[in-house]
Amino acid sequence: MAEAVHGALGTNPRKGASHTWDDVEKELIDVAVSTLVALQTITPDAGKLFAARLDHLVDRVLPEPN
């Protein structure tokens, strides 16, 4: 994924713009899927853990309702 970002930004002086933002999007999806598969592999409570962590992250960035 990092290689695709560097390629999309053209920051590698030897390669220039070697990737597109479509490539970056695909790599990000690959990382997300790989992460979720790994989580499911190591714990039977993957869905519960994911939901709890997502709730925690949302609570950190969204203001409390009035």
Whose CA is closest to 26, among 8, 9, 14, 46? Answer: 8
CA distance 32 to 1: 11
Instruction: Say if 29 falls within a structural domain.
Output: yes
**Is the per-residue pLDDT at 66 higher than 80?**
no
Instruction: Say if 15 falls within a structural domain.
Output: yes
Instruction: Say if 66 falls within a structural domain.
Output: no
pLDDT digits (tens, 9 = 90+) for 37-56: 999 999 999 999 999 999 99
Whose CA is closest to 36, among 26, 24, 46, 45? Answer: 46
Instruction: Say if 46 falls within a structural domain.
Output: yes
If pLDDT is split at 50, 70 and 90, which confidence band does 65 have?
confident
Domain that includes residue 15, residue range: 2-61
